[in-house]
């Protein structure tokens, strides 16, 4: 039985690079012809000349805040801000919304988000049942994993998020081969099962994403008989990289061109240096060219011991900006600003993310002269804007650090 999903994974690196660079000018031309935003930003670019990484590095980087700004500016005429190459109808069966709010189209192709490759590397095989605990509403995570599982030939239980006791019951009765979801929620489910005295012997593997997966949690799961593997994907791009049994970084997906650039610029850094991941997708429906993820990583030297020959990255190493991910959801500085604008009594605010991984804690520190009933109202506003719960700490005016930070990530990743 092959340990590889397909022959693409074991191509000669030079053959892969030639194929990617041959597809690149066609994708640039396609984006210019079918996505108005790229027709504008790449107006002076000769698509045929973008046939090397050096040429690609000269193109502008598109960042998430630009997606949001253009979508907001064009909401009456084009909900996708000119970045989508497909329109409502059979070509676009679903639309999702990520915090911001940023809308993402889902095309009609099988395994649209290319997740089957990551599932295969995590040990999932045809005719197995997978318990999917990613959200099925608003964000695309649930659909990303389900469509990948279907492409792999698996059946999916749509567990979604929350309802921990019911998740335990379903796992005990349906006996899935494994779990897909955030690592922190899997830990919660396993702990709840132990508390309930319910055995889940079938759950022996997991593909996790949406947040950091530290070695401590990986080992904690392994001690309980669950082999957890991680993948790196976004709602904009689909799969970017995935973990293998070698446990040495993450292997890049075959359908993306990845650059690592100096944060705040589009300039590639020397190999091995930490920088921001910039991804060009070969997806014709949503042809993002040089999309800045805001995530930090670095290229690992050599190739994977499993025989996969694509480049590897070290995995998620933090954010290039203050945007951070909490319980699988991005939180943006703009969302903190939106909360503060609702309350004239707030002078300054700072959102602190603390706790160990799988136990994120949010505290919004607010400088104010008022107190009566304010904390409860602010808490409701935080949940409304970010979809997350946070403690509210009212502090003296002038007591917060004057360092420009709106979001402080004080979590431990050890």
94 occurs within a structural domain: yes
Cβ-proximal residues to 248 (8 Å cutoff; 6+ apart), any chain: 300, 304, 305, 312
317 occurs within a structural domain: no
In the chain, pLDDT over 90 holds for what percent of residues? 79
Q: Picking from 39-43, 210-214, 364-368, 400-404, which range would have the lowest pLDDT averaged per residue?
A: 400-404
The pTM score is: 0.81
Question: Is 82 found in the same domain as 221?
Answer: yes
Instruction: Give the integer Cα–Cα distance in Å for 331 and 342.
Output: 17
51 occurs within a structural domain: yes
Residue 207 has pLDDT above 70, yes or no: yes
Tens-place pLDDT, residues 172-195 = 999 999 999 999 999 999 999 999
104-112: which pairs have CB atoms within 8 A and are 24 or more residues apart? 104/140, 104/235, 104/236, 104/286, 105/80, 105/285, 105/286, 106/140, 106/143, 107/283, 107/285, 107/286, 109/285, 110/147, 110/150, 110/151, 111/147, 111/148, 111/150, 111/151, 112/147, 112/238, 112/283, 112/285
Tens-place pLDDT, residues 115-148 = 999 999 999 999 999 999 999 999 999 999 999 9
349 occurs within a structural domain: yes
Domain end call among 253, 286, 313: 253
- pLDDT at res. 413: 57
- pLDDT at res. 292: 94
Q: Domain range spanning residue 353?
A: 326-409
Closest C-alpha among 230, 232, 275 to residue 256: 232
Tens-place pLDDT, residues 327-360 = 888 888 778 888 988 999 998 899 999 987 667 8
Question: Is 157 found in the same domain as 34?
Answer: yes
Domain end call among 229, 253, 277: 253
Average pLDDT of span 15-35: 98
Closest C-alpha among 245, 185, 247 to residue 221: 185
- pLDDT at res. 409: 86
Average pLDDT of span 362-373: 90
Closest C-alpha among 211, 189, 172, 309 to residue 254: 309
313 occurs within a structural domain: no
CATH of the domain at 41: 3.40.50.12780
Q: In whole numbers, what is the pLDDT of the chain averaged over residues? A: 93
Confidence of residue 1 (pLDDT cuts 50, 70, 90): low
**Which of residues 27 and 267 earns the better pLDDT score?**
27
- pLDDT at res. 318: 77
Record the tokens describing residue 222, joined without a space.
Answer: 């392994």
**Which of residues 142 and 406 earns the better pLDDT score?**
142
Confidence of residue 257 (pLDDT cuts 50, 70, 90): very high
Question: Is 36 found in the same domain as 169?
Answer: yes
Question: Is 226 found in the same domain as 91?
Answer: yes
Question: Is 230 found in the same domain as 86?
Answer: yes
Question: Is 118 found in the same domain as 236?
Answer: yes
Record the tokens describing residue 399, joined without a space.
Answer: 């007591």
315 occurs within a structural domain: no
Question: Is 67 found in the same domain as 174?
Answer: yes
Question: Is 172 found in the same domain as 53?
Answer: yes
Residue 319 has pLDDT above 80, yes or no: no
- pLDDT at res. 332: 80
Instruction: Give the integer Cα–Cα distance in Å for 308 and 61.
Output: 29
Answer whether 252's CB lies under 8 Å from 309's CB: no
Number of other CB atoms surrounding residue 54 within 10 Å: 9
Question: Is 165 found in the same domain as 28?
Answer: yes
Burial class of 144 by CB neighbour count within 10 A (0 to 12, 13 to 18, 19+): buried
Closest C-alpha among 203, 192, 161 to residue 328: 161
314 occurs within a structural domain: no
Question: Is 360 found in the same domain as 234?
Answer: no
DSSP-assigned states of every residue in 33-90:
HH-HHHHHHTTT--GGG--SHHHHTTSPPEEHHHHHHHHHHTTTT-TTTT--S--SBT
- pLDDT at res. 44: 96
Question: Is 236 found in the same domain as 352?
Answer: no
Domain total of the chain: 2
291 occurs within a structural domain: no
Average pLDDT of span 225-236: 96
Burial class of 262 by CB neighbour count within 10 A (0 to 12, 13 to 18, 19+): middle
Domain end call among 238, 253, 268: 253
Average pLDDT of span 18-45: 97
Q: Of 21-30, 212-221, 326-335, which has the strongest mean pLDDT?
A: 21-30
CATH of the domain at 360: 3.30.300.30
Question: Is 373 found in the same domain as 246?
Answer: no
Instruction: Give the integer Cα–Cα distance in Å for 167 and 286.
Output: 34
């Amino acid at each position: 039985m092959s340990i590889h999903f397909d022959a693409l994974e074991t191509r000669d690196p030079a053959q892969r690079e030639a194929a990617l660079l041959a597809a690149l000018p066609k994708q640039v031309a396609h984006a210019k012809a079918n996505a108005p935003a790229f027709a504008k930003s790449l107006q002076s670019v000769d698509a045929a000349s973008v046939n090397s990484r050096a040429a690609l590095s000269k193109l502008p980087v598109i960042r998430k805040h630009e997606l949001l700004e253009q979508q907001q500016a064009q909401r009456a005429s084009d909900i996708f801000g000119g970045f989508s190459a497909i329109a409502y109808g059979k070509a676009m069966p679903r639309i999702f919304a990520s915090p911001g709010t940023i809308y993402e189209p889902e095309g009609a192709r099988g395994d649209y988000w290319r997740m089957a490759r990551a599932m295969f590397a995590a040990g999932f095989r045809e005719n197995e049942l997978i318990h999917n605990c990613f959200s099925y509403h608003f964000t695309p995570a649930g659909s990303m994993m389900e469509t990948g599982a279907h492409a792999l030939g698996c059946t999916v239980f749509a567990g979604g998020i929350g309802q921990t006791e019911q998740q335990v019951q379903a796992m005990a009765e349906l006996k899935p081969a494994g779990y897909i979801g955030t690592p922190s929620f899997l830990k919660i489910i396993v702990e709840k099962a132990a508390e309930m005295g319910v055995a889940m012997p079938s759950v022996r593997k997991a593909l996790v994403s949406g947040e950091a997966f530290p070695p401590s949690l990986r080992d904690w799961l392994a001690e309980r008989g669950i082999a957890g593997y991680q993948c790196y994907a976004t709602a904009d791009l689909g799969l970017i990289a995935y973990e293998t049994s070698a446990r040495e970084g993450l292997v890049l997906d075959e359908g993306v061109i990845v650059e690592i650039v100096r944060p705040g610029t589009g300039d590639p850094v020397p190999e091995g240096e930490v920088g921001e991941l910039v991804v060009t997708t070969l997806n014709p429906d949503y042809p993002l060219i040089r999309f800045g993820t805001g995530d930090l990583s670095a290229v690992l030297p050599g190739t994977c011991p499993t025989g996969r020959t694509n480049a590897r990255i070290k995995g998620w190493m933090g954010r290039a900006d203050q945007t951070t991910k909490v319980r699988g959801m991005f939180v943006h500085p703009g969302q903190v600003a939106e909360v503060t604008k609702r309350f004239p009594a707030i002078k300054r605010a700072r959102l602190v993310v603390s706790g160990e991984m799988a136990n994120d804690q949010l505290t919004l520190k607010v400088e104010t002269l008022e107190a009566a009933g304010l904390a409860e109202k602010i808490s409701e506003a935080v949940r409304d804007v970010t979809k997350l719960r946070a403690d509210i700490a009212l502090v003296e005016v002038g007591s917060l650090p004057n360092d420009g930070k709106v979001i402080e990530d004080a979590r431990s990743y050890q």
